[in-house]
Amino acid sequence: MEGEVVAMNSLTVNLHLMMVSFFQPDATRNTVLIESSAFPSDRYAVVSQLEFHGLSAAQNLIEVQPRQGERTLRTEDMIERIEREGSRLALVLLPGVQYLTGQLLNMPALIAAARRVGANVGVDLAHAIGNTVMQLHDWNPDFAVWCSYKYLNAGPGAVGGCFVHERHARNFRLPRFAGWWGHNKAQRFLYDPKFDPIAGAQGWQISNPPILSTAPLLASLQIFQRAGMRALRDKSIALTGFMQKLIEQHLPNLVEIITPGEREQRGCQLSLRIARPATEARRCQEALTAAGVIGDWREPDVLRLAPIPLYNSFADVLAAVDTLARALRGSGL
Ligand SMILES: *Cc1c(COP(=O)(O)O)cnc(C)c1O
């Protein structure tokens, strides 16, 4: 819903602002649950919020991990943990798409589990926004945050975004860090000393937005609107599925796909573990870059490739896997 979304700040700043409102620890509920390989910035933000409340990561942070020998998280394990820790959870912070493995979590099931035990729920959509189709209002988290320079293509430093569920739109008793840009628009220039927040997500704005890093977001969103998120997702499923098939057929012993095989459990990205010594694997990524295939290398052995439905073709995917094959074994597909 329109009033639930606002473009402002950057992801980590929005995460802090949301935790000011939705992480309110008390004597019994004072713990945050995240996943163990959360993007470092999210962990820094959570731990600093804990410490701000006089709590600690050692006592008040639960980090869920994949099972021994597995790379991705299981929904049933996460739900079981949420239920087991339920009475002490103040906040559950979930990734939409896990940045390292490309795993798309079952957001509706996990959000529902967290809400059943009485915890607040936030979702970090850094790698999900512009990548998968979401129904945040229906899924019912308290908040979500994202940046717009990944799948939304708004460029480095572009303004990020925030979702606050409608059920909090008029909850003016929630603690929040206020600023003039969140004040009732009609009264903004009357300089009333008493803060009168705009109902909905816009009421969390603090400052006037940086226009130069908002303009490219507007241009990008117009393109997304024209293409349609559903159509983009359909093409994305086909593109990534094509890349998966090529890799499985042609590079079975050289590359292990860490990302789940099912379309419901991933977005565009495939995370590939290169079964080669580190220096060789790195050379392979350099060969891709030299050929114009821009992937991302994560130490010690993960190559992330994400065919993008807006501007990548099936021929691009074929060329990328062919380049990977040449780099790994000196011959093409
Ligand atoms: C990219 C990313 C960020 C980046 O944070 P900024 O505040 O925009 O610099 C944070 N969290 C996750 C999970 C990310 O993938």
Residues 235-250: tens digit of each pLDDT: 999 999 999 999 999 9
Binding-site residues, ligand 1, Cβ < 6 A: 10-12, 39, 41-42, 99, 124, 126-127, 147, 160
Final residue of a structural domain among 177, 201, 220: 220
Q: 11 CA distance to ligand 1 centroid (A)?
A: 6
Does the structure show a pLDDT above 90 at 44? yes
Q: Which has more pLDDT, 224 or 279?
A: 224
Q: 41 CA distance to ligand 1 centroid (A)?
A: 6
* Residues 275 and 206 grouped into a single domain: no
* Residues 206 and 121 grouped into a single domain: yes
Atom of ligand 1 nearest to the CA of 95: 13
Q: 268 CA distance to ligand 1 centroid (A)?
A: 18
Does the structure show a pLDDT above 90 at 331? no
* Residues 205 and 262 grouped into a single domain: no
Q: 288 CA distance to ligand 1 centroid (A)?
A: 25
Final residue of a structural domain among 220, 241, 274: 220
Atom of ligand 1 nearest to the CA of 150: 1
* Residues 288 and 169 grouped into a single domain: no
Classify the phi-psi angles of 246: left when phi > 0, otherwise alpha if psi is within -120 to 50, otherwise beta: alpha
Atom of ligand 1 nearest to the CA of 42: 11
Does the structure show a pLDDT above 90 at 333? no
* Residues 30 and 130 grouped into a single domain: yes
* Residues 140 and 43 grouped into a single domain: yes
Does the structure show a pLDDT above 80 at 281? no
Indicate the DSSP class of residue 279. Answer: H
Q: Which of 11, 98, 129 to mutate to test the pocket of ligand 1 (most atoms within 8 A of CB)?
A: 11
Q: Which has more pLDDT, 301 or 322?
A: 322
Q: 147 CA distance to ligand 1 centroid (A)?
A: 7
Final residue of a structural domain among 192, 220, 248: 220
303: pLDDT confidence band, cut at 50, 70 and 90?
very high
Atom of ligand 1 nearest to the CA of 160: 8
Nearest to 309 by CA among 233, 241, 225: 233
Q: Which of 41, 46, 100, 145 to mutate to test the pocket of ligand 1 (most atoms within 8 A of CB)?
A: 41
For residue 274, the surrounding DSSP H or E stretch is: strand 270-274
60: pLDDT confidence band, cut at 50, 70 and 90?
very high
Between CA 89 and CA 104 the distance in angstroms is 23
- Give the type of residue at 46: V
When pLDDT is averaged across residues 243-271 and rounded to a whole number, the result is: 96
Q: Which of 15, 39, 100 to mutate to test the pocket of ligand 1 (most atoms within 8 A of CB)?
A: 39
Which pLDDT score, from 0 to 100, does residue 73 have? 96
Q: How many CB atoms lie within 10 A of CB 26?
A: 8
When pLDDT is averaged across residues 162-187 and rounded to a whole number, the result is: 96
Overall domain count for the chain? 2
Which pLDDT score, from 0 to 100, does residue 72 have? 96
Between CA 253 and CA 62 the distance in angstroms is 36
pTM for this entry: 0.96
Does the structure show a pLDDT above 80 at 325? yes
Can you give the residue range of the structural domain that contains 12? 5-220
We report the CATH number of the domain holding residue 75 as: 3.40.640.10
Q: Which has more pLDDT, 37 or 45?
A: 45
Q: How many CB atoms lie within 10 A of CB 186?
A: 9
Atom 14 (ligand 1) nearest CA? 126
Does the structure show a pLDDT above 80 at 278? no
* Residues 246 and 325 grouped into a single domain: yes
Between CA 101 and CA 79 the distance in angstroms is 20
Q: Which has more pLDDT, 252 or 267?
A: 267
Which pLDDT score, from 0 to 100, does residue 20 have? 98
* Residues 203 and 252 grouped into a single domain: no
When pLDDT is averaged across residues 189-199 and rounded to a whole number, the result is: 91
Based on the number of CB atoms within 10 Å of its own CB, is 299 exposed (0-12), middle (13-18) or buried (19 or more)?
A: exposed
Which pLDDT score, from 0 to 100, does residue 248 have? 96
Between CA 30 and CA 35 the distance in angstroms is 17
Atom 13 (ligand 1) nearest CA? 39
* Residues 17 and 159 grouped into a single domain: yes
**Averaged confidence pLDDT in the chain:** 95
We report the CATH number of the domain holding residue 237 as: 3.90.1150.10
* Residues 238 and 295 grouped into a single domain: yes
For 209, the token pair is 């937005």
* Residues 296 and 245 grouped into a single domain: yes
| Percent over 90 (pLDDT), the chain | 87
* Residues 214 and 260 grouped into a single domain: no
Does the structure show a pLDDT above 90 at 190? no
- Token look-up 């402002």 returns 8
When pLDDT is averaged across residues 114-133 and rounded to a whole number, the result is: 98
Based on the number of CB atoms within 10 Å of its own CB, is 324 exposed (0-12), middle (13-18) or buried (19 or more)?
A: buried
Which pLDDT score, from 0 to 100, does residue 175 have? 97
